[in-house]
Chains A and B, each alone.
Chain A
Amino acid sequence: MVLLTFRLKVKNAETGATVEMELDGDNSVDEMIESAATFWNKDMGAYVLRKGKKVLRGGSTLKDAGVMAEDVLELIPDPEGG
């Protein structure tokens, strides 16, 4: 099996920081969220990842989600008020 890796950036909307990530098209969106959230010491369940106006859903692969090299994705908090 040939794995094609590519790089993209994920921005942390709460701090303005960005990480550059190396991924494979068969990685899942959840794996990407988990990596970024873990790096920033965040609870991955409290965040969503967006590409433009689109919410990237957890179980789908990056390939199926249309994520491509050089994309800049953004990690957005999903708060609850009470």
Chain B
Amino acid sequence: MPRPKILGETKRMPEERAPPPEGSLGPHDWLSRDSRTAYDEVLSSGRHFDLYISRHAEGMMRSHATKEAPRRLEVMGFMLGDVRSWQGSVYTTVRDVVTTDLKSTPSKVRFDREALPKLFGDLDGSGFDYIIVGWYHSHPGHTCFLSRTDLETQRTMFDQPYHTALVIDPLNEDVKTFKLSNQGYDEVPFSLTDALAPARPVRKRTRRLRVREV
């Protein structure tokens, strides 16, 4: 039996496009003092951010994390967006997020395999030619960092320079975004923007999600 043979690859190159305008930007309400300082430094430098998150996507992630906060269960999902370049440097946009039913504990979370069709349906329903530019998950009450498990996930699956991990702590009202670095991982400043909108009809999808404690 011959093995599957790869005949060729078509890469997707970053689209040359200006970042969201400054007037559309804003910091996340839950940034720590240090994260807010880093945000202000990027904004005042005239450089663009490495990461822009639509207010819609941010709201979905916050809502998802907050919903399970009373049970202290972690939640998780994918960030969908695009990789773009502008004047020789690359930045990432997060336009939408998708998730599905989860198997969760206060310190672990995975997609429920039986619920993957729901996740795939939402990927198809995203309404644009997405790239999974990163993932989000919550640390209810544990502050925002990448655990050993998170770091393994980041190294195994999200190892491109534009891949981001967003960690949100709904109990301490903290949020941070991270990328891999030579030292392990670094926090990267991000901005929210009104200039990115989901490409699908908006509805409250997290209401019908089940998070099963395991």
Contacts and interface: CB of A to CB of B under 8 A. Distances in A.
Physical interaction between A and B: yes
B5 interface: yes
Interface residues of B, number: 45
Interface in A40-66: 42-43, 46-48, 50, 52-55
Contacts of B148: 82
A15 B131 contact: yes
Interface in A6-56: 7, 13-24, 26-27, 31-32, 35-36, 39, 42-43, 46-48, 50, 52-55
A80 B110 contact: yes
Contacts of B135: 77, 79, 81
Given A18-B9, A80-B109, A80-B149, A55 B116 contact: yes
B150 A82 contact: yes
A15 B12 contact: yes
10 nearest A-B residue pairs (beta carbon) = A82-B149, A16-B12, A81-B137, A77-B157, A35-B4, A53-B117, A81-B109, A82-B147, A79-B153, A22-B5
